[in-house]
Homo-oligomer: A and B are copies of this chain.
Amino acid sequence: MQPLQNDRLIRALLRQPVDVTPVWMMRQAGRYLPEYLRVRKQAGSFMALCTNPELACEVTLQPIERFPLDAAILFSDILTIPDAMGLGLYFEEGEGPRFQKPVRSTANVNALGVPDPETELRYVMDAVRLIRTSLGNRLPLIGFSGSPWTLATYMVEGGSTKTFSHVKGMLYSEPRLLHQLLETVATAVTSYLNAQIAAGAQAVMIFDTWGGVLTPEDYRDFSLQYMQKIVAGLTREAEGLRVPVVLFTKGGCQWLEIMADTGADALGLDWSTDLGMARKRVGDRVALQGNLDPAVLYATPGVIREKVAHVLAEFGKGSGHVFNLGHGITPDVNPEHAGVLVDAVHDLSVQYHQ
């Protein structure tokens, strides 16, 4: 294997010196890109796109061909694991994800098996291998999974929810059953991420989209604890390089200190926290990834550059910052504005790395 031509992402996640701040965008392969919409249409459905390694590879590479991004991220869905567990994932147009068989009872939880990534989730591993081959040694590839708590919310609710009534009903009334479910999912996520690393992912990220709906105590017991188990079980070196792990809990800015204690290399931040304050709070334990409000991309190029400058200044001098949005890029954004963001990060961050 040749060394990476652009290893800024890996270096910044490990708090090693870089020339400029690396940048990628959550959902960078997505609906704001007309070339994505074409492939999505060709695939016929969202899941058809996810389960086709060639098409998943194609859309993964689209944003890095358009913009000078510092990383590619696997195009996939966070619900591949519960789908592989036999819950029957499907999407209704404009309705979000649904499961045919929600997990509500002890019998449902007992029946859950841990999928073998190279059989039931082989389409994901094939996509990872194909993307790595296509990327060559240009840029690193980020693999990912949903957190156990986040996956459990969909599994127990049977889809998206505003009230979390079923999963919180289980949390408050049958906490041991929920722990059993989370244990199984954590084992599955560990094996899934290790398989992605074996297939070629050079960094991995755990998305805890719904950790922020928990109380501080329940976050520790029902979300963070299981992410910590995953971090402890991950392959941390591949191809002679450290494989950094990033944790992201949306709405979790109150809990950065305990997240930094998990052994993760970096934390993703949404835009509700000042990056400079966050840096002070976590010290040199972890790198930080974030945290521009994605809605800034609705503004003019001049404003986008100004807000990028602001986030860079908040972090300040030195390595340990990966620039990102605080949440996924939204479908109605002008793709040229994403390009303005990427260029601004590179142009304006030179001064912080001299």
Contact = CB atoms under 8 A, between A and B. Distances in A.
Interface of A: 163-165, 168-169, 171-173, 212, 214-218, 251, 253-254, 271-274, 293-296, 298-300, 303, 307, 330, 332
A272 B211 CA distance: 10
Which of A218, A299, A307 has the largest number of chain B CB atoms within 10 A? A299
Contacts of A332: 163, 165
A105 to B, nearest CB: 16
B173 A273 contact: no
Contacts of A300: 173
Contacts of A299: 169, 172-173
In this complex, the member of A215, A254, A293 whose beta carbon has the largest number of chain B beta carbons within 10 angstroms is A215
Contacts of A330: 163, 165
A164 B330 CA distance: 10
A167 to B, nearest CB: 9
A307 B165 contact: no
Given A251-B251, A273-B254, A165 B298 contact: yes
A172 B298 contact: yes
Contacts of A254: 253-254, 272-273
Given A165-B332, A272-B254, A332-B163, A295 B212 contact: no
A169 B298 CA distance: 5
A307 B171 CA distance: 12
Contacts of A214: 272
A272 B303 contact: no
Nearest to A311: B215
Nearest to A255: B272
A293 B168 contact: yes
13 contacts: A163-B295, A163-B330, A165-B298, A168-B293, A168-B296, A169-B298, A169-B299, A173-B303, A215-B272, A216-B272, A217-B274, A251-B272, A253-B254
Contact of A303 (B165, B172, B218, B253): B172
A173 B298 contact: yes
Contact of A271 (B169, B215, B274): B215
A163 B298 CA distance: 10
Given A173-B303, A216-B272, A165 B253 contact: no
Contacts of A164: 295
Given A165-B298, A330-B163, A216 B172 contact: no
Given A330-B163, A330-B165, A332-B163, A296 B172 contact: yes
A4 B148 CA distance: 51
A295 B169 contact: yes
Nearest to A215: B271
Given A163-B294, A164-B295, A172-B298, 13 more contacts: A163-B295, A168-B298, A169-B299, A171-B295, A172-B299, A172-B307, A173-B299, A173-B300, A173-B303, A215-B274, A218-B293, A254-B254, A254-B272
